[in-house]
Chain A
């Protein structure tokens, strides 16, 4: 292990090197990765914003006033006022709950479904594998946005359906990742050994195989958080997302685009939030990938 010049943090770490657990090893590796730390800090700030937004009343973000129409940014209205005189700053802060929860829940849906199907496909092989993988190929062959629109059109426009739509579009990636990692693990002797002590196939998958193939899944989950937020925002931008007047970030960008010449602040601030959030999750995802992949260790 080579040491980084500014070793103020790494020196006390080095002393405990022997006692570090696997988790500690990962934390250490992320700490040394500056972009991952930046990602973590941004995510922490976003969580603070999310907590702060719980104190904002829904009425405050939907209240209109003619006096504040297209108000230029100032201390009270840091992001300005929109076409109906609503406080865009409050709306953006309030909107974090939608964007973040959509991102998180959608990624969770993709993970649960994808990991389950992928582990069945990888473990059983044969016909089960063929059916699951071809179905997943079909799903993956439809562009994500289009698939999302179709699902929302069929199910109807609402917050839950947006989450479901975004979640389903993310499933094929997880199926692939999980299947690949299950394939490498299922022939290990401890899998055979756990069959020999009488474990059923499903139990073997969930107690023996999956815990060993978790790292790529964790990394994919982190990156897919960012991706889900983008897809959800894009769907909202196109009018398939959270119904107005709820201030989801994509909806805000969409609402502001008519006034991009006169009041660019209406569109750019929520857009900036989307960008920074996605960037943060991707940075953390990359950092985790490096930390969890022993081959990339320096």
Chain B
């Protein structure tokens, strides 16, 4: 692992202040405009991420997590995808205003993405070494040999012997493929790493390995990490901040302690209620009733209202405002306008993640 340390010393420039904001999303709106309807995938998401921080973006399938991540790379498939409004700045420059050339320059270098399924995100006809080297060659002025050397280093960094750089993806197991994908994403030492459900396709033991490795790498390289997942366990393991998304909005935002120890939004409460309790195995799970709302017909007010046990008649039509719980903790719920309202935490005492 001595390679790792030297690499770390080279790549972590000390002059950057620790509280530098590397990713700043403001009021992002992403819609998919189809022939006779519009899918409102992301509706006004704002996020800030400082160097070295990790944010967990949690939510059900279809909550707009992946659309948000793709928007950061300006890779929302278009048509039908349209980024309606908002701004996304990566290291101070707005990706939504960049030319294709500029975008291709920052993709992979400043901001990189890990895709969900390692089985399909590697090119089956290229050796893994060549695939990692590809990214390096593309962004840095190096020779083929140097790029391949870097690729070997990256493989060692993610715990794969460098002799295997000349092998093809089908010769690797699922967990190793995901590590290769991570190695590709980290090859140019990006400032922001978007991980779109990086462990969903892996089994639990490999998940743990990959997560450990990611947290370790994050510390070493000082990369800001956006961890998109629907697994609260993953969030508890690696994240500093948590954003809970529902129907394209962040309904609750706070530090890990804020959200896990005192969840405020009924939806967050529902998510925790749906987790099995390891201490009380007989306890019944309390699922969230109903389904996600149709993203083509979202209400003005709270999209969670039909499934919410606290909902009142005003919830559906009242425009929502972020309710500030503390400096670090906000919640998007109309009921908090009433003084003294709080959710009653279905299962008090064991909601600490």
Interface residues of A (CB under 8 A from B): 188-190, 192-200, 203, 207-208, 211-212, 214
Report whether A198 and B139 are in contact in the complex, using a CB–CB cutoff of 8 Å. yes
B191 to chain A, nearest CB (A): 14
Question: Which stretch (B56-64, B105-113, B251-259, B263-271) binds chain A?
Answer: B105-113
Mark interface residues in B173-195 (1 if CB within 8 Å of A CB, else 0): 00000000100110110000000
Partner of A211, one of B121, B125, B181: B125
Chain B's nearest CB lies how many Å from the CB of A202? 11
Tell whether, in the assembled complex, residue A196 and residue B107 are in contact, meaning their CB atoms are under 8 Å apart.
yes
Contact with A along B59-90 (1 / 0, CB 8 A): 00000000000000101000000000000000
**Does B108 lie within 8 Å of A196, measured CB to CB?**
yes
B75 contacts A196, CB within 8 Å?
yes
Contact of A198 among B104, B115, B117 (CB under 8 A): B104
Nearest Cβ on chain B to A291's Cβ, whole angstroms: 16
Report the nearest A residue to B79, measured CB to CB: A126
| Residue on A nearest B190 in the bound complex, by CB | A197
Known contacts A190-B120, A193-B181, A212-B124; can you find 14 more A-B pairs with CB under 8 A?
Answer: A189-B115, A190-B124, A193-B184, A196-B107, A196-B112, A197-B134, A197-B138, A198-B104, A198-B107, A198-B138, A199-B134, A200-B104, A212-B123, A212-B125
Of B113, B120, B123, B185, chain A has the most CB atoms within 10 Å of the CB of: B123
Provide 30 A-B residue pairs closer than 8 Å at the C-beta atoms, listed in order of the A residue. A189-B116, A189-B117, A190-B121, A190-B122, A190-B123, A192-B115, A193-B113, A193-B115, A193-B121, A193-B122, A193-B181, A193-B184, A195-B75, A195-B107, A196-B73, A196-B107, A196-B115, A197-B134, A197-B135, A197-B185, A198-B104, A198-B106, A198-B107, A198-B109, A198-B135, A198-B138, A199-B104, A200-B104, A211-B126, A212-B123
Contact A189 B121 (CB under 8 A): yes
Leading 5 A-B pairs by shortest Cβ distance: A197-B108, A198-B107, A198-B108, A189-B120, A189-B121
A interface secondary structure, majority: helix
Interface residues of B (CB under 8 A from A): 73, 75, 100, 103-109, 112-113, 115-117, 120-126, 134-135, 138-139, 181, 184-185, 187-188
Alpha-carbon distance between A211 and B109 when the two chains are bound, in angstroms: 25
In chain B, what residue has the closest Cβ to A207?
Answer: B134
Contacts of A193 in B (CB 8 A): 113, 115, 121-122, 181, 184
Q: Assuming A197-B138, A198-B107, A199-B138, is B125 touching A192 (CB within 8 A)?
A: no
Chain B residues within an 8 Å CB radius of A203: 138
CA distance A193 to B131 in the complex (A): 11
Question: Which residues does chain B contribute within 8 Å of A196, judged by CB atoms?
Answer: 73, 75, 107-108, 112-113, 115
Complex contacts, B126 vs chain A, CB 8 Å: 207, 211
CA distance A190 to B135 in the complex (A): 13
Return chain A residues, CB-CB under 8 Å to B139. Answer: 198
A198 to B109, CA, bound (A): 8
> Could you say which residues of chain A place their CB within 8 Å of the CB of B75?
192, 195-196
CA distance in complex: A88, B192 (Å)? 74
Collect the chain B residues with CB atoms within 8 Å of residue A199's CB: 104, 108, 134, 138
Q: Which of A188, A195, A208 has the most CB of B within 10 A?
A: A195
B103, B106, B120: most-surrounded residue (chain A CB, <10 A): B120
Q: Which of B116, B117, B120, B184 contacts A197 (CB 8 A)?
A: B184
Q: Considering the chains assembled together, what is the distance between the CA atoms of A194 and B117 in angstroms?
A: 14
A194:B181 contact, CB within 8 angstroms: no
* Complex CA–CA separation, A211 to B188 (angstroms): 25
Alpha-carbon separation in the docked complex, A190 to B138 (Å): 16
Minimum distance in angstroms from A198 CB to a CB of chain B:
4
Q: What is the distance, in angstroms, from B182's C-beta to the closest C-beta of chain A? A: 12
Residue of B nearest to A200 (CB): B104
Among A197, A208, A214, contact of B107 (Cβ-Cβ < 8 Å) = A197
* Residues in A whose Cβ lies below 8 Å from that of B125: 211-212, 214
Name the residue in A194, A200, A203, A214 with the highest tally of chain B Cβ atoms < 10 Å from its Cβ. A194
Shortest CB-to-CB span from A211 to chain B, Å, is 5
| Residues on the A chain within 8 Å of B104, using CB | 198-200
CA distance A95 to B244 in the complex (A): 76
- Complex Cα gap A118–B165 (Å): 32
Closest CB of chain B to A293's CB: distance in Å?
16
Q: Please report the C-alpha to C-alpha distance between residue A195 and residue B76 in the assembled complex, in whole angstroms.
A: 11
- In the complex, chain B residues whose CB is within 8 Å of the CB of A214: 125
A192 to B187, CA, bound (A): 17
CA gap between A199 and B120 in the complex, in Å: 18
- A189 vs B106: C-alpha distance when bound (angstroms): 20
Once bound together, how far apart are the Cα atoms of A214 and B126, in whole Å? Answer: 13
